[in-house]
């Protein structure tokens, strides 16, 4: 069994090395615990045994451990402008065998590290065993659910934008596909990336959460509020996304 209270204390001690008065540090600290909770709820909804639920929670706790140093050094969450925060998190946990302090079992350590590595990638890497792939999917869903919630709540962070939707981004969203980093060219594209994430949800719990909390409507309506030029395309995107969510469960 994993001592999750001990793990949370270790995580808090680690974050004490950073400035909690920094809004970005503060955001990622609380994001971590919300994602941990989503991991637990998804795992329980899948009827995983108690140890696997704990593994899912531990992955949630550690998934963004690379963010804090990224913020301290680069003052950004944008990986392409700094470091891949998932890769860096894995390096932190491997350094001096730091992960051993959280869990001693080698098999669980490997699952945790692989899930963290894959949580922010465009797709999950090939060749993983079924169990490891499952945990990769759990953390990817849990992370997205909190990102959606945060995006909707960030009233003052989403600025009015006069930019347009890039053609590749529009094509992806109308084809039920997530958005590739290389295709994002405008501020609108970056906002719509959150919408594209809806196409990459894996579990009934996640889709039900989206439906019950009206997430898809709220996401797109928030973007429509901030743009005067793209209403027709945004309405088409909204229709496609809502149809996808309805058919996916």
DSSP classification of residue 178 = P
Q: Spell out the domains of the chain, with CATH numbers in brackets.
A: 1-155 (1.10.3210.10), 158-249 (no CATH)
> pLDDT tens digit string along 82-104?
999 999 999 999 999 999 999 99
pLDDT for 153 equals: 83
pLDDT above 80: residue 226: no
> pLDDT tens digit string along 24-70?
999 999 999 999 999 999 999 999 999 999 999 999 999 999 999 99
> pLDDT tens digit string along 113-159?
999 999 999 999 999 999 999 999 999 999 999 999 998 887 556 66
The span from the CA of 133 to the CA of 148, in Å, is 23
Residue in the structure block whose two tokens are 């001690």:
13
Whole-model pTM: value is 0.95
How large is the C-alpha radius of gyration of the chain?
18
Share above pLDDT 90 across residues of the chain, in percent, rounded to a whole number: 82
């Amino acid at each position: 069994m994993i001592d999750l209270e001990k793990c949370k204390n270790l995580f808090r001690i680690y974050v004490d090395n950073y400035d909690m008065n920094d809004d970005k540090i503060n955001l990622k600290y609380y994001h971590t615990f919300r994602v941990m909770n989503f991991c637990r709820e998804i795992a329980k909804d899948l009827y995983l045994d108690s140890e696997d639920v704990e593994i899912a929670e531990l992955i949630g706790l550690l998934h963004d451990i690379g963010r804090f140093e990224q913020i301290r050094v680069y003052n950004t969450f944008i990986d392409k402008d700094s470091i891949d925060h998932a890769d860096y998190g894995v390096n932190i946990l491997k350094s001096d065998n730091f992960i051993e302090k959280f869990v001693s079992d080698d098999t669980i350590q490997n699952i945790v590290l692989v899930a963290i590595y894959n949580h922010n990638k465009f797709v999950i890497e090939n060749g993983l065993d079924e169990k490891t792939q499952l945990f990769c999917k759990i953390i990817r869903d849990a992370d997205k659910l909190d990102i959606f919630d945060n995006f909707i709540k960030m009233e003052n962070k989403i600025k009015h934008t006069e930019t347009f939707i890039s053609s590749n981004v529009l094509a992806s969203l109308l084809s039920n596909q997530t958005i590739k980093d290389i295709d994002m060219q405008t501020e609108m594209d970056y906002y719509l990336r959150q919408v594209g994430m809806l196409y990459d949800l894996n579990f009934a719990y996640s889709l039900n959460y989206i439906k019950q909390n009206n997430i898809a409507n709220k996401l797109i309506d928030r973007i429509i509020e901030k743009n005067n030029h793209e209403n027709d395309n945004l309405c088409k995107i909204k229709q496609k996304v809502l149809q996808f969510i309805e058919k996916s469960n």
